Amino acid sequence: MKEQHCVSTKQLYKFLTACGGNWRNTIHISAQEGCTGWLLAADRNGAPVLMRVDALERGIQERIDTNECRGTLTESAFTDIFAQYLCWQLPTTSSTPADTLNLLSDHS
């Protein structure tokens, strides 16, 4: 059974603020398996702000075509690029890049 992820109003506000109100101004992080991926924006301090594609679709009640995003990264490319940030910001290392992305999107 597919896991449902809900988005709070606060998370939605933070994400939409980071991408200038338009999800197309994000980078799509493609999932290796099991989900539609994540959308990546940066806050005013340059920190990553992530949201699962399926959670955003439910939050805005619109279908997201990830081909319309500014670019695409793989899960492993994200963890390589943000390795130092993840080292300092996450309490422990997650077992997979998907776990890390889910953790960040839940706390964005």
Q: What is the pTM of this model?
A: 0.84
C-alpha dist (Å) from residue 101 to 15, 57, 77, 98: 14, 17, 12, 5
pLDDT band for position 92 (50/70/90)? Answer: low
**pLDDT higher than threshold 80 for residue 3:** no
Task: Please write the tens of the pLDDT for every residue from 41-76.
Answer: 999 999 999 999 999 999 999 999 999 999 999 999
**pLDDT higher than threshold 70 for residue 34:** yes
Residue 94's pLDDT is what? Answer: 58
Q: For strands 38-42 and 27-30, give the pairing.
A: antiparallel
**pLDDT higher than threshold 60 for residue 5:** no
